[in-house]
Amino acid sequence: MAGAAASGLSACGGGDDGRTRLRFWAMGSEATNVGQILPEFERLNPGIRVEVQALPWTAAHQKLLTAYAGASLPDVSQVGNTWVSEMTAIGAISPLPPEAADLLTDQFPAV
């Protein structure tokens, strides 16, 4: 899910079906795009169910800040590139866990 920054997986919940539930906030039209690739992702990862919430860009920044203040951030969120330093400074973006380190070099070779 390109363009997403992990906000920590400690908040992941279990669903009624026994699968881990990931909450993903997508901005603008990305919710539609992500929704198109989710069936394949969930087929390859049968223990995970992703719930996508579409947020308009006009409300997303405030919603992320409010969610951070209320300790209710999603498990994964797309963020605007101009927000990354702010979200990192306040601790709203968690580093990727070691087992995900290959994602950086695989997807973002310049990082």
pLDDT confidence band for 62 (50 / 70 / 90): very high
The secondary structure element, H or E, covering residue 24 is strand 20-27
Q: Measure the CA–CA gap between 88 and 103, rounded to whole angstroms.
A: 19
- Look at residue 40 in the predicted model and tell me its pLDDT: 96
- Quote the tokens at residue 86: 């702010």
List pLDDT tens digits, range 76-91.
Answer: 999 888 999 999 999 9
Kindly give, in sequence order, each residue whose CB lies less than 8 Å from that of residue 50, ignoring residues fewer than 6 positions away: 21, 22, 24, 34, 38, 41, 42
**Domain coordinates of the chain in residue numbers?**
4-107
- Look at residue 18 in the predicted model and tell me its pLDDT: 87
Asked whether residue 5 carries a pLDDT value surpassing 70, the answer given is no
- Look at residue 110 in the predicted model and tell me its pLDDT: 58
- In three-state secondary structure terms, 18 is coil
> Once rounded to an integer, what is the mean pLDDT over residues 45-71?
95
CATH 3.50.30.60 fits 4-107, yes or no: no
Q: Which residues of 64-94 are buried (b: 16+ CB within 10 A; e: fewer)?
A: bbebbeeeebbbbbbbeeebeeebeeeebbe
> Once rounded to an integer, what is the mean pLDDT over residues 61-85?
93
> Once rounded to an integer, what is the mean pLDDT over residues 51-78?
95
Q: Measure the CA–CA gap between 47 and 49, rounded to whole angstroms.
A: 7
